[in-house]
Chains A and B, each alone.
Chain A
């Protein structure tokens, strides 16, 4: 290995090292983490919205060929929402536009993410995993309403 080659190698490793350190910082320090394996909520067969407090919600999303249950949900601005997602049939995708919520719905498992809606507006959710002939019509939304805070 000559000097230039060593330089290139060390630069490459250093760059990747910095990237990895930033990833770990974002995950552990800023709590921007990817979904993990949860076992305390079992796969459910009905979608529902549960309100725990004025600004605390739990939504159980059931993805089915080719719709989400519950359909459009309304929450007040500033709400923190715990999202649980499962599938009744094949694999579906679930992304809330404008947030970091990006999940897969796999039958037999439950995916979990927490999101806080600080800005009012319409948050579109699309199924982004191919799930059969009706896939392109599988979408829903969360409407975050302004001025309804207590």
Chain B
């Protein structure tokens, strides 16, 4: 379908703007492996410090890039499937808030005023522009839901009584409502703790509470990144794989989304297994729900594989009776039509297989003692968010840009090879990081000047080989990205050959049941919020009333002297010292 001029500009902006920033994000990814392996033995390179680059890598790649692409994809999905125009004013307000917010945070990060990493754990404190910018980005990202998507969804429901809303719309709606719920704790943290301290309005606050609020957001957010990829796997992948494929089961897909609604929230304590201040039985409850939230992903693995099998077997009768050979008929590398996109999804899925297993390891409570804060963790999430999520987002960005601009995809060959280079690089990276992590190699550390420096008294030779392997992997990943970028920017700068449209290849469902319980969102979300609140009451009680003895002032990353000087904390500390 055709897209109105102004809305088209916004959606294109929401794709191209974060991708220009992503170039910095990926560049700093390469710098990370070089620093960590000691290829760069320094605190900084070209004026950007290691930890500053790590902050940029994290914030750009998983906060700015993911959020803006998800909003762009959501806009396109609602537009295409509901056939209802989006409101230009809403779209512009949302886009400009996100851009201004991103630029504010980027200014703070590039000038070194926010070397706090993308988790911004208190008592390290950044420039207020970092927090206010991040808040604007997040506020901008929820505006389309309230003022465009929900009104259009309600109007569509009225016009189509008794009909199921298209699966892609269902998925994106679920995803964005989850997004609004998960933002509540982090908004409380930023507005009532971090911004006041960074502005000097209050001298100190509670670091354990701020971590707990952060992870109440920080875990569900990974599903906010993942569900759009699942929408693509359910609706787009089966269709393009043979040209007429089908989704195995519509209800299973909706059921998986709803399990995410239930179980995405009461799980944040699995990021806090090793911390004091929270009673371990509450952590065990969150471990239980974390294993529960693995279930919808396993259902998705089944549904997606079954859809692939059905689609392949209906086109190739010769493999109809085979258990394994149909895998060989998947167009892993094909230039025909939209089949280039299959490479992105398949490479992503193969990485996600590894990421799922390592994720279950991380979630397993006492097993987490072996891997917490080691390089095992970045190894894990580079195959999930850096694997399936990023690859499907890169693929769909290229796809949407070519449709919206009415251009053919240029350098399609490079575009098809890119995800496989990325896949290979990530696999090597994940192997090296995970195994080194089991041997205690820490994450978030400029190891090149200490632990991996033969001249340092801290030298740990057992980590050297793994770190060198990540350098090799890093170059392959970046080469994959360069191939993709050549195709992406080649497409953008090529002449227009068609009318601007937006359309998505959409698989219809093989098994399509009427399951009214799966199409009523309100009760599922009501239970979900209840579970969220109940699962956090004991933990919040611990970190505010029982386990934390005093609040802390804020610190700059360069100095052990607090930048906000509270007298009360000093007295408290003296009192406790005397009491002992």
Binding site for B on A (CB under 8 A): 1-2, 4-5, 8-9, 11-13, 15-16, 19-20, 23-24, 26-27, 32-39, 42-46, 64-66, 85, 89-91, 93, 95, 97-98, 100-104, 106-112, 124, 126-133, 135-137, 139
Known A2-B511, A109-B548: A90·B277 in contact at CB below 8 Å? no
Tell me which residues across on chain A come within 8 A of B284, comparing CB atoms: 23-24, 27
Q: Which residues of B contact A101 (CB under 8 A)?
A: 369
Given contacts A100-B369, A109-B548, A112-B276, contact A64 B450 (CB under 8 A): no
Chain B interface residues (CB < 8 Å from chain A): 43, 49, 51, 54, 115, 117, 121-124, 206-208, 211, 249, 251-252, 272-280, 283-284, 287-288, 291-292, 294-295, 298-299, 302-303, 306, 360, 364-370, 372-374, 439-440, 442-447, 449-451, 458, 460, 511, 542, 546-552, 555-560, 562, 573, 576-577, 579-580
- Indicate whether A95 sits within 8 Å of B580 (C-beta atoms), given known contacts A106-B275, A137-B450: no
Residues of B within 8 A of A8 (CB): 298-299, 302
Q: Which 10 pairs of residues, A with B, have the shortest CB-CB distance?
A: A111-B276, A128-B442, A12-B298, A8-B302, A65-B560, A128-B373, A36-B280, A132-B557, A37-B547, A16-B291
> A137–B447 Cα gap in the complex (Å)?
9
Q: Could you jot down 28 A-B contacts, CB within 8 Å?
A: A2-B249, A5-B252, A8-B298, A8-B299, A9-B302, A11-B298, A23-B366, A26-B366, A36-B280, A37-B547, A38-B547, A45-B577, A91-B121, A95-B372, A95-B440, A103-B276, A104-B274, A106-B275, A109-B547, A109-B549, A128-B372, A128-B443, A130-B51, A130-B444, A132-B557, A132-B559, A136-B450, A136-B451
Chain A residues near B365 (CB-CB < 8 A): 23, 27, 34
In the docked arrangement, what's the CA distance between A88 and B548, Å? 14
A91 to chain B, nearest CB (A): 5
Inter-chain contacts of B550 with A (CB < 8 A):
43, 107-108
Cα of A33 to Cα of B399 in the assembled complex, Å: 48
> Residues of A contacting B373 with CB < 8 Å?
93, 95, 102, 128-129
Contact A16 B576 (CB under 8 A): no
CA–CA, A30 to B369, complex, Å?
14
- In the complex formed, the residue of A with least CB distance to B124 is A90
Give A107's nearest chain B residue, CB to CB.
B552
Q: How far is the CB of A40 from chain B (nearest CB, A)?
A: 12
Contacts A32-B366, A95-B374 known; list 8 others, CB within 8 Å: A2-B511, A9-B295, A13-B295, A24-B284, A93-B442, A102-B369, A130-B117, A139-B451
Q: Looking across the interface, which residue of chain B has its beta carbon closest to that of A135?
A: B445
- A65 x B275 contact (CB < 8 A): no
Q: Which B residue sits closest to A104, measured CB to CB?
A: B275
Q: Which residue of chain B lies nearest to A60 when distances are taken between CB atoms in the complex?
A: B580
